[in-house]
Amino acid sequence: MSLPSPSSPSPFTPPTPEQTAAVEAAIQTRHSMRAFLPTPVPRETLERILQVAARAPSGTNTQPWQVHVLTGASRERLVQRLQAAYNNPEELAQHAEEYAYYPSEWVSPYIDRRRKVGWDLYGLLGITKGDKARMHAQHGRNYRFFDAPVGLMFTIDRVMQQGSWLDYGMFLQNVMVAARAHGLHTCPQAAFTQFHRLIAEELNLGPEQMLVCGMALGYADPQAVENTLVTEREPVSGFVRFLD
């Protein structure tokens, strides 16, 4: 049974100050959380979040997103397979990303931002430079969805091109912002792309489906020090030109 469409004011009605504040708060409080409570998320809440997120724009309304929601036993089976592969050097060497998420050659300012967020996180966790064992363990927490009770996997049909990936990014942002409206947090995770073959097997994906990314979703652990990390953003003057 499909859910009723969420009620909403006319797009031509100016928002109230409270509505404006709520939208801005949902966006501004969206942070990538890396520690979650085991508290279950009701299925109806997940369905509502995804229904709202599906209002994302897409070229000629193609709606290229496909979502696979893992909870309970299905989530645990995937977690066990991923962790076993990640912690086995021989098996890990057999897995590689199917598409390049990051540039092959880093330049400033991007490499500087990347390094800063990495060391800011490690600093909070007390992981020092050169502590490869703890770095490995921390990165491995990706494959437990940082203990979130809900794991999301996002796939796209291989026939779709670059424009559809832009559309997909808007859908992912909608998921994360809609989650905040329900008091939930998320962590989008490109780390899963390395294990696309394993994930495709576990989820019984057809050969036409390509993994875009994964995402942890749940209630953030307010006591976890890593969740205090708030990444810096450039001021508007740093990335915008106003042309009169």
Mean pLDDT of 127-156: 97
Q: How confident is the model at residue 2 (pLDDT cuts 50, 70, 90)?
A: very low
The sheet with strand 66-70 has its strands ordered as: 66-70, 150-157, 209-218, 185-189
Measured CA to CA, the distance from residue 125 to residue 188 in angstroms comes to 20
- pLDDT above 70 for 214: yes
What lies within 8 Å, CB to CB, of 17 at 6+ separation is none
pLDDT tens digits along 168-181 = 999 999 999 999 99
Q: How confident is the model at residue 11 (pLDDT cuts 50, 70, 90)?
A: confident
Mean pLDDT of 123-145: 97
Q: Which DSSP category does 235 fall into?
A: -
Q: Is residue 121 part of a domain?
A: no
Measured CA to CA, the distance from residue 140 to residue 23 in angstroms comes to 33
Overall number of domains in the chain: 1
Measured CA to CA, the distance from residue 119 to residue 112 in angstroms comes to 11
Q: Is residue 66 part of a domain?
A: yes
User: pTM for the whole thing?
Assistant: 0.94
For residue 6, the model assigns a pLDDT of 55
What CATH number does the domain containing 49 carry? 3.40.109.10
Q: Is residue 129 part of a domain?
A: no
Q: Is residue 229 part of a domain?
A: no
CA distances from 53 to 30, 172, 175, 177, 188 (A): 15, 8, 5, 8, 15
Angle between helices 72-86 and 196-203 (to 10 degrees): 150
Q: Is residue 19 part of a domain?
A: no
DSSP-based three-state secondary structure for 76: helix
Q: Match 């996180």 to its residue by tokens.
A: 121
For residue 1, the model assigns a pLDDT of 41
pLDDT tens digits along 16-58 = 999 999 999 999 999 999 999 999 999 999 999 999 999 999 9
Q: Is residue 72 part of a domain?
A: yes
- Domain with 209, as residue range(s), is 32-101+143-222
Measured CA to CA, the distance from residue 105 to residue 114 in angstroms comes to 13
Measured CA to CA, the distance from residue 96 to residue 30 in angstroms comes to 29
Q: Is residue 186 part of a domain?
A: yes
Q: How confident is the model at residue 8 (pLDDT cuts 50, 70, 90)?
A: low
Q: Is residue 7 part of a domain?
A: no
Q: Match 């947090």 to its residue by tokens.
A: 185
